[in-house]
Amino acid sequence: MEDNDDMVLLRDAMDRTTDGLPPLPDLAPFAVREGRRRRARARFAVGAAAFGVLAVGGLGLTLLPSPGTDVAGVAKHIDAEAEAERERATEHQRKTAALLDELLPAKVTDIRPVEGQVAEYRITVDGRPFIMTVSVRPMSASLIQDCHCEKDTKLKTVQIVDWADFKAAQYWYGKSRVTLSVFGWGTAVPLKARDLSAVTRDPRFMELVKARNAHPLEPEEPLGGGLTRPRTKL
Amino acid sequence: MAVSTDVRATEPDIGVDVGSDAGFEEFARAAQQRLYRTAYLLCGDAETARDLTQTTLAKLYQHWRRAGAADHPYAYAKTVLTRTFLSERRRGLRDLLVLTRTGGTAPAPAADHADLRVTLLAALAELPPRARAMVVLRYWEDQSVASVATLLRCSEATVKSQCSRSLARLRVRLADAGLSLTES
């Protein structure tokens, strides 16, 4: 049986334990932003399920339930797989954005993942918008053989680019090509390539790279794949 | 002192503009610190608690039309918080959550009552996640046995027995550390 005095005293102890917590910053704007993303994902999932059902119909199968045909089950399966993949991509982007937020210079004031482009982020530097790429992309099998990096435990530098309107740091790791770049679309980028390479020295970034090397979120690069422009336009 | 079992007694005073973004933001600002404290007792560290609070508010926004129209939106938020805590524990996402901060590192609480804080959190950490959630909801949030059972989708008998066992363990752990629940 519960002892009423103990309950009261435990509550008091919990009260005192949490009393010293600092006040939080305003979380409402983050919640609205993230909540909207969640709503959009949920709507997309419903659309994907509907598409799955229609695709089954288009293949000549009946849309009407019949014994032994579980159309809803197929749609749910497609939905679940697509949703799981989207969740993984979204979480990866959130983790990467949080890390960039911490590791890039203070003049980078805003970092937002681009929805649907797992390797791209909208960033604001000195008040101006740019597209940043943080990509861990599987290399072609022949390149993996050439680079002898499959068992590497560190990033192997491939190239550092420090042009006025394009900054990039590119590496090989395991079976992947790791790229950090900022494309200015003709505008000078107020960052240095070493600002990008500094990110890669953080062990948390290496954890992200290892995870994506083991479980890629991007398709294998084409032969000769190297630095490319981001897909997202400003 | 009697323990109130009325959840409204601990609810922040929030006038909710049902369904609107402005209503949500007003609610979030009023409730976030209280949710953060509950999250801290569930997670045991300030940073993870902050991430859990953020995730909870985002999920709440996703379903705000329904949540905002509920009799007690804060109770709804607590349900989301607890279930998110439990599901993410199950999925082993603690490390993942740690990296989803949008601001700087959350500092640890001030040093007041440091011994009590460390010991209580260590003792809570020894409880399985569901038992810990039961203790926090029952004793910190003042929820009735029936409410906790509904929220955690288990029987009232389970809540009673788990809480009783957990309370006994906490009492022993605090006493072992030279602290007692009666410390002032």
Enumerate the residues of chain B whose CB falls inside 8 A of the CB of residue A95. Answer: 96, 99-100
Ranges for all domains in chain B classified under CATH 1.10.10.10: 110-184
Token output for B10: 């601990």
Q: Does A38 touch chain B (CB under 8 A)?
A: yes
Ranges for all domains in chain B classified under CATH 1.10.1740: 1-109
Enumerate the residues of chain A whose CB falls inside 8 A of the CB of residue B25. Answer: 28-29, 32
Enumerate the residues of chain A whose CB falls inside 8 A of the CB of residue B24. Answer: 28, 31-32, 35
Determine, for residues A34 and B58 on separate chains, whether the beta-carbon distance falls below 8 Å. yes
Q: Does B70 touch chain A (CB under 8 A)?
A: no
Determine, for residues A22 and B116 on separate chains, whether the beta-carbon distance falls below 8 Å. no
Determine, for residues A21 and B2 on separate chains, whether the beta-carbon distance falls below 8 Å. no
pLDDT by position in tens, chain B (length 184): 333 333 333 455 455 556 678 889 999 999 999 999 999 999 888 888 888 999 899 999 988 888 877 778 888 899 999 998 887 776 554 443 333 333 444 444 444 456 777 888 888 888 888 999 999 999 989 889 999 998 888 899 999 999 999 988 888 887 777 666 553 3
Helix (H, G, I), strand (E, B), or coil: what is residue A166? strand
Secondary-structure class of domain B1-109 per CATH:
mainly alpha
Strands ordered across the beta sheet of A166-173 = A108-113, A120-125, A128-138, A176-183, A166-173, A156-162
pLDDT in tens, A115-128: 889 999 999 898 88
Which B residues 104-133 touch A at CB under 8 Å?
106-107, 109-113, 116-117, 120-121
* CATH architecture of the domain covering B110-184: Orthogonal Bundle (1.10)
| Residue carrying structure tokens 């336009």 | A233
Low-confidence ranges of chain A (pLDDT < 70): 1-3, 43-79, 142, 145-146, 222-226
Identify whether the C-beta of residue A84 lies closer than 8 Å to the C-beta of residue A65. no
Say how many C-beta atoms besides its own lie within 10 A of residue A124's C-beta: 14
Task: Kindly provide the ipTM of the predicted complex, given to two decimals.
Answer: 0.75
Q: How far is B155 from chain A (nearest CA, A)?
A: 16
